[in-house]
Chains A and B, each alone.
Chain A
């Protein structure tokens, strides 16, 4: 594909459904009322010269190139700021306009370097284009006048350069930062000729800038330029693909020269991101070619041996022989595997198929076990489907937004920008979180209520919110009557009215005042459209499933389900965690959440795959770990997950891995788990994959390869070849054929195909004959399960309790620049923003323990101990400490417990009783880990040569 240049209409689309007709340069054009003349002209195919206008931000009217003449009106109004009117007759090209435009360009160029030939954006510069378009031939002012040509560059930030000497002060960057990203880090400083783009500090890196790239994208000149473009030059082709970071699923144009990625540009037609991006998707893709990347298969007999690079055949033969031998000795159920939320649906599909068909058991699970499994369970119980109810755009119609246990500005930044836009436009905000996350108070946004609850008390608080709704008569009776099961509601109503669920009672447990709970409940129930967005702060608890159902109950009770602007929406952590679940990565369910025990369902798979399948559920990940420690589970195939870093109680996980006879790791890097592996199968980055991801809004987006697999093999091929060696042939010509099989066997995906996605863009499931165009909002008119089901949600506190020895609660989360276990982001310049995990602690807790900002502290739980640097922060409530888990040497999960959700065994990462004390050395685990890492380096086939 050639370089894809998206049409820039100059101003955003108008929302009106009324249309008007006007004449532009003799052509009639019909546009929605409120459309600018500039956009109307573009619709008619007329490009009016412009520099300060771009359709990602509101019109501004500063460059004065887009002036037009309108019959019957005086003067030359700017077409970007003047709305088109019915019957208007517009001329965009006249002698007078040509003179003005040339005059304006002459002024611009009189203060611009004449270095086009050596400029990084030569050929990709709107200023250059406009000079040509208006026919500028001479700059009569000369170049000796006052100018900005000597201003020096800001190269402080790793991904782009700010060169003020090339700035034309169009304010597109400032407006993009305000309107698109919502960070408001940029402004124009000074006045008149001295006006320059400025930050709150001296440079980009130290400022509030979050490096989302919106300003760079908006810049029409070389003033803000990607460093990768400066290095490689202007790209010549584009491939549209989907980002492999969080569950927002932004679409990007990978812009290339040959196989060299020059930059990732957010795709304006991307239905999840509408042309916006964050620092990870936009810039942090260098890990794909990082020197740590392994591209050759490797094997070793024992985990203490040096790795040997071998051919694919040898590696797969080795793996198959071991797996078969283990099954022969320990039984069919002694092996299993884990599918990856980072891989494509097609790659996941073949892994679960291999396990069921070739391994002959249902020992398949996925990393959703440790994040959103309660979402699947809870929403299924109440509504009948295991996914979020809305599309992202739904938030634009929300009147009150309740964010529970989710930190969108860090973890889902692009959706957070959309949410913030809505909040700035007047929607009210309720934040339920132990921490004062950025949303609580940021420029032009302030939460109406921040319920700063004690970790582990979500269910009590959501019950209290529901109690207020019922007690104060705020229930949407008509909705309940029409849409919900009457008996279930009646029982629930009795339950929720119990005084134990009153705000006054819950205040004692949660630390949130009864008044705050009451006010928040009233706001949510009465402000109009109420939308709930939640994250792992809801699910990663021993009552995670209960909480999901509690929120589902609350939404039903207030009628906030089944239309745009409302809903219960999980913020999915990983790019394809929804897809990995949808693909049947569970020991008890086939694709589409259908039980393995269902004979008819199982029969359909058996018919298609030509084998008999086990009708009994297999092991979940925690079962696999326990059984491995017990000696019953001997081999595991792990696709793109690092359980040794990401799963709780690291010591226990390591013990299990060490006990196994064959650990197969399929990954980009020799990760923590690979220290225990016998077979390493090199995987592919998203830049090499051909397939689909499903984001948090159930949207199937295409992932297209921009380069050939560095390993020589597609990942699905590796799995299929291993399955073949295990005795079950899985032959596909390409990834599209896998999707065809998925569609044939999964009713919710019946009408999905690569062809369809390539022709019409992304789709939200269910997409079948009943919903041929996919499904934006679920449960419209009727719940998937028929009537909505109220489930009783009794609050049962976690067994993890604070006491004198462990008086603080540790909770965990992420930050913007890093992603999950950091395997990708740590191998990019994102590390410059966060080189290590920190322990956030409230000043009073810090002072009591003699801890100062930056000190080393030991964090000790009943399970283990690690040493981190302290960050004294008012964002924490007293009694609660916080850390991230992006760096393996931090060992955050050495401390966490295996206490887990009662329904799904999702671990309780968010609540660990700990004590914090000043420390002057690393913990034992960290010291051992460092030694193990050294050893691993020695065992690497490409070990660094000894220094001479």
Chain B
């Protein structure tokens, strides 16, 4: 018997995983040996996708960049390590071995829809412990873990949990922000496609902790595979009694509804998300009131990113103190960094905070895919800081990044080689804001458009000094004046590009090309 595993993950499918699967099935139809093919999540080594794995007594061995044409030869070779696509034991791959997989431990290993496999591979350990605790103690575990929100704002989760728990209301909600919109990020998608029960377990624990009986997953419309997996998982979870009137045997009701977004980056901002979830136009709300006190339908609502909620089960399973032991200082636990852009080994890399950016980009990422020198790295999504190569020695943790006016955000890292024009990137930052602004507040609604126009003048060399001063003034208005982080952080990429790459902002287009 041959036990094969192939990702159903969108990134693998995008490079032909489904065609490989079809080919495997057609070969096995004429094969004497019994073959099972399990579709799993991805291991997160995207440059190796589609990565086919075979399980034997020694564990899992991998075969990278498999094409349908290769499939017969793999069977002929008996999945030998001599095959040109062979990678050897997956656990021994350097990129994989260097990681600390807490959240993604099952991703790529198990069948995402299998309740049994989830359980067999350590699932529900957190829930089982939570069921023995009272809500205060559940929240105390989160507080002591030092977990901070993984959506971007890095707000201490435990404080938020306690705020919602202590709020007096007949109805409370858990809302999972799965509107993963940062360019170069895919951690939410991978875990929802690859280990969805983890999210359900995390949300249920949150429901028990804060006294919420209803949860929503706000999923971006561009994730059809995650939509299918999640809705199937929710029905499996209901049949298994994990959701319902006695959720997971807690004696408390908890159910989860999957809600599809309509394609707006701003709906990843928690208050816009709540508006959208209420059926309204996705538009930012002023805070206060905090969603923890007046959130969905005006009720206390715990809004968390997918990764934050997926960090919860292990905290409850192994304890807040254990979790706090991972990471550095106030940046506790692990973070699934996502390497993208012009990088050789693109993919997901889960590690405790404190890893050096240089190791991630060069040692594990292998440098620029083009083979040229890395010139800039943008950390934290489209509203993140542009760092020059000279600053790659920085450690990846919240405090270090805060010192340079930047953030880790959702852990997206986009690599650029030396052909990048940072003035064009700065203009793009305004353009992105102009496209994705909800249009509510003035600095963002009009400022983004004007920023792009002024930056274009800089690029074409029109009154460069005056226009750069105007950009600086505009950035102050956007930082201090914007209603939410969309407008407030658009200046981060703009100003960091101007600060670290001044040679690109001279208005002399030949100067930039000379780099």
Contact = CB atoms under 8 A, between A and B. Distances in A.
B27 interface: no
Interface stretch (A139-147, A398-406, A434-442): A139-147
A78 B286 contact: yes
B440 interface: yes
Interface stretch (A191-199, A230-238, A741-749): A191-199
A146 B434 CA distance: 12
Interface stretch (B103-111, B168-176, B361-369, B478-486): B478-486
Interface string B466-502: 1000100110110011110000000000000000000
Contacts of A104: 442-443, 477, 481
B443 A193 contact: no
B461 interface: no
Nearest to B282: A191
A147 to B, nearest CB: 9
Interface string A379-393: 000000000000000
A64 interface: yes
Interface string A154-193: 0000000000000011010000000000000001101111
B441 interface: yes
B288 A187 contact: no
A83 B445 CA distance: 25
A926 B266 CA distance: 62
B153 to A, nearest CB: 14
Contacts of A194: 439
Interface stretch (B85-93, B211-219, B334-342, B447-455): B447-455
A191 B437 contact: yes
Chain A interface size, as a band, is 35 or more
Nearest to A145: B453
A717 interface: no
A75 B480 contact: yes
A103 B443 CA distance: 8
A111 to B, nearest CB: 6
Contacts of A62: 440-442, 483
Contact of A141 (B282, B439, B444, B450): B450
Contacts of A59: 286
B445 A192 contact: yes
B446 interface: yes
Contact of B439 (A67, A78, A108, A188): A188
B435 interface: yes
A825 B482 CA distance: 47
A100 interface: yes
Contacts of B443: 64, 103-104, 107
A67 B442 contact: no
A804 interface: no
A546 interface: no
Nearest to A59: B286
A110 B450 contact: yes
Nearest to A140: B470
Contacts of B446: 107-108, 110-111, 193
A121 to B, nearest CB: 20
A510 B454 CA distance: 72
Contacts of B399: none
Given A81-B286, A145-B453, A193 B481 contact: no
B450 A192 contact: no
A111 B439 CA distance: 14
Contact of B442 (A63, A81, A99, A141): A63
B449 A146 contact: yes
Contact of B481 (A103, A141, A169): A103
A16 B96 CA distance: 59
Contacts of B438: 191-192, 195
Given A67-B481, A100-B476, A140-B470, A191 B449 contact: no
B185 to A, nearest CB: 21
B480 A100 contact: yes
A169 B453 contact: no
B453 A141 contact: yes
A103 B441 contact: no
A188 B281 contact: yes
Contacts of B379: none
Contact of A195 (B435, B436, B439, B466): B439
B435 A192 contact: yes
A146 B450 CA distance: 8
Q: Summarize A's interface: helix, strand, loop or mixed.
A: loop
Contacts of B473: 99, 103
Given A99-B473, A192-B436, A64 B453 contact: no
Interface residues of B, number: 38
B311 interface: no
A550 B225 CA distance: 63
Contacts of B474: 103
Interface in A52-92: 59-64, 67, 75-76, 78, 81-83
A515 B381 CA distance: 59
Contacts of A61: 286, 441, 483
Contacts of B264: 191
A192 B288 contact: no
A536 to B, nearest CB: 37
B283 interface: yes
Contacts of B470: 140-141
A136 B94 CA distance: 60
B439 A169 contact: yes
A717 to B, nearest CB: 57
A99 to B, nearest CB: 7
A63 B441 contact: yes
Contact of A193 (B266, B288, B434): B434
Contacts of B466: 140
Interface string A344-366: 00000000000000000000000
A96 interface: yes
A463 to B, nearest CB: 36
Contacts of B282: 191
B437 A192 contact: yes
Contacts of A190: 439
B480 A191 contact: no
Interface string B405-440: 000000000000000000000000000011111111
B490 to A, nearest CB: 12
A873 B450 CA distance: 52
A107 B482 CA distance: 13
B439 A64 contact: no
A107 B477 contact: yes
A61 B480 CA distance: 13
Contacts of A188: 281, 283, 439
B481 A100 contact: yes
A64 B483 contact: yes
Nearest to B488: A75
Nearest to B478: A103
Contact of A64 (B281, B288, B433, B482): B482
A76 B281 contact: no
Most B-side CB within 10 Å, residue of A63, A82, A96, A191: A191
A61 B295 CA distance: 17
21 contacts: A60-B286, A61-B286, A62-B441, A62-B483, A83-B288, A100-B477, A103-B443, A103-B481, A104-B443, A107-B442, A107-B477, A141-B470, A145-B449, A188-B439, A191-B264, A192-B436, A192-B439, A192-B449, A193-B437, A193-B445, A194-B439
Given A100-B476, A193-B437, 18 more contacts: A60-B440, A64-B481, A64-B482, A78-B286, A81-B287, A83-B288, A103-B473, A104-B443, A104-B481, A107-B443, A111-B446, A140-B470, A188-B281, A191-B437, A191-B438, A192-B433, A192-B449, A193-B446
Going nearest first, the 9 A-B pairs with the smallest beta carbon separation are: A195-B439, A61-B286, A103-B477, A81-B286, A192-B437, A107-B446, A64-B481, A145-B453, A193-B449
Interface of A: 59-64, 67, 75-76, 78, 81-83, 96, 99-100, 103-104, 107-108, 110-111, 140-141, 145-146, 168-169, 171, 187-188, 190-195
Interface of B: 264, 266, 281-283, 286-288, 433-450, 453-454, 466, 470, 473-474, 476-477, 480-483
